[in-house]
């Protein structure tokens, strides 16, 4: 039986999850989920009460059915051939290019160099502790147009920092049944990131500190 991981997204800037180019990846942030979730499991992001776009609590920001799981090092090796758009280019005019989440360069060995990206050195240890990247083309991303969860699924909302898994066991099949019943094509972004980074004079993402605090609490969960 698949597991259902749910958590509240404090800052949805399009980097974690990264829903662009027909695939959804979780390669940074949420280290414990990246370390433990398996192929076939679902990862669900719930909006925050204090989201930039308003009160997104009890609303679905994204859901991904994990189809691939690989190490950060293998993700870096694969990116050039399979997903060059995942390597960040913060000089690009396209938001999708700037938000590339393959931010760790292992070409020099087992100790990676952090590429210029949405994360800074303050996120280095936490990001690497997740060890893996979760990949899916079977996903739904709603971003700044989140969907209200039906009442019978509100129990998967996890307003505190961290994430919920075991307590979601009674709701896994109901969630899958509900999301599939929407009959929406998978692999698409139905909204835009709720928080757009100000790249002018960029010296690190304004949401990094918030996400780092959330990730550290998640690791301790």
HEC profile of the chain = CCCEEEEECCCCCCCCCECCCCCEEECCCCHHHHHHCCCCCEEEEECCCCECCECCCCEEEEEEECCEEEEHHHHHHHHHHHCHHHCCCCCCCCHHHHCCCCCEECCCCCCCEECCCCCCHHHHHHHHHCCEEEEECEEEECCCCCEECCHHHHHHCCCCCCCECHHHHHHHHHHHHHHHHCCCCCCEECCCCCCCCCCCCCCCCCCHHHHHHHHHHHHHC
| Residue 221: band (very low, low, confident or very high) from pLDDT cuts 50, 70, 90 | very low
Q: Residue 206: pLDDT above 50? A: no
Q: Residue 217: pLDDT above 90? A: no
Question: What is the pLDDT at residue 197?
Answer: 81
Question: What is the pLDDT at residue 163?
Answer: 63
| Residue 1: band (very low, low, confident or very high) from pLDDT cuts 50, 70, 90 | confident
Question: What is the pLDDT at residue 202?
Answer: 54
Which of 30-34, 114-118, 201-205 ranks highest by mean pLDDT?
30-34
Please give the share of the chain, as a percent, with pLDDT higher than 90. Answer: 72
**Averaged pLDDT for residues 159-164:** 64
**Averaged pLDDT for residues 97-106:** 94
Residue bearing the bigger pLDDT, 114 or 207:
114
Q: Residue 185: pLDDT above 60? A: yes
The answer to whether the predicted template modeling score (pTM) of the entire model surpasses 0.85 is yes
**Averaged pLDDT for residues 42-53:** 94
Which of 49-53, 114-118, 186-190 ranks highest by mean pLDDT?
186-190
Q: Residue 216: pLDDT above 80? A: no
Of 83-87, 125-129, 157-161, 185-189, least confident by mean pLDDT is 157-161
Average pLDDT, the chain: 89
Please give the share of the chain, as a percent, with pLDDT higher than 70. Answer: 87
């Amino acid at each position: 039986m698949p597991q259902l991981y749910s958590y509240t997204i404090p800052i949805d800037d399009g980097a974690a999850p990264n829903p662009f180019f027909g695939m959804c990846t979780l390669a940074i942030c949420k280290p414990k989920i990246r370390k433990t979730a398996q192929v076939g499991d679902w990862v669900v992001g719930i909006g925050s009460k204090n989201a930039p776009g308003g009160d997104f609590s009890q609303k679905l920001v994204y859901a991904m059915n994990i189809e691939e799981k690989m190490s950060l090092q293998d993700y870096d090796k694969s990116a050039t051939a399979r997903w060059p758009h995942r390597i960040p280019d913060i000089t690009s005019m396209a938001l999708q290019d700037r938000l590339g989440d393959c931010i760790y360069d292992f070409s020099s060995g087992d100790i990676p160099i952090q590429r210029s990206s949405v994360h800074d050195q303050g996120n280095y240890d936490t990001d690497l502790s997740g060890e893996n990247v979760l990949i899916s083309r079977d996903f739904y991303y709603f971003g700044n147009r989140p969907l209200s969860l039906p009442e019978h699924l509100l129990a998967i909302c996890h307003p505190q920092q961290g994430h919920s898994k075991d307590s979601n066991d009674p709701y896994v099949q109901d969630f899958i049944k509900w999301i599939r019943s929407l009959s929406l094509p998978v692999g698409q972004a139905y909204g835009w990131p709720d928080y757009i980074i100000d790249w002018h004079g960029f010296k690190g993402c304004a949401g990094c500190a918030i996400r780092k605090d959330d990730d550290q609490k998640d690791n301790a969960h």
